[in-house]
Amino acid sequence: MEKSVKRIVLLASGSGSNVENINTHFKENTGVSISCVLTNRKNAGVLDRCLRLGIPAIHFNKIAFKDTDTVLRFLRSLEPDLVVLAGFLWKIPEDIIAAFPNKIINIHPALLPKYGGKGMYGHHVHEAVKANNEKESGITIHYVNKNYDEGAIIHQAKTTILKTDTVERIAEKIHGLEFEHFPKVIEKLVFKNG
């Protein structure tokens, strides 16, 4: 029997602004539920945000994630239709990827394949874009595979970068694209996966 409500699990490492934006997008949609938010940082701002928003959230450590199947078993118990990395910085173990084929997605703050790979996140990406005098940057939403930022691309959105743009201004532009596009792409995928 088909589940009537689509379940999303979010993984985040930071303040959780994307988590809140996704939650806001689906607030009125009774066909979608954010089952849980998982974070790898016990002091991550996303935990306070989830408390305020009434979203279940848990913290796990590296051993639970990489050396045992604790996180994998927990994810399986949630039966997610989609696992969304919303500012999550650890590489996903291969057993988790294998358990959820084409159901784990990530958002990257650049136009992949440019500025991807280990260590390329947040301000590191925007600093590289600025240093190389790029005329545009953007976001890439992609499936997660065993390599950082190399999974199949689902959606890209671009913005113009001006010579006068600071790293902070580039970050603002990219954040705006994330807020605009990420929830819509998640919505399309979660119903496609059903």
DSSP letter for 79, please.
-
What phi and psi, each to the nearest 5 degrees, are found at residue 111?
-90, 90
- Which of 25, 59, 108, 142 does the annotation list as catalytic? 108
DSSP 64: I
The region, left, alpha or beta by phi > 0 then psi within -120 to 50, assigned to residue 79 is left
DSSP E strands in 15-101: the ranges are: 32-39, 57-59, 82-85
CB proximity list for 78: less than 8 A, separation 6 or greater: 7, 9, 35, 36
CA 80 from centre of chain: 15
Respond yes or no: is residue 108 known to be catalytic.
Answer: yes
Catalytic residues, which ones? 108
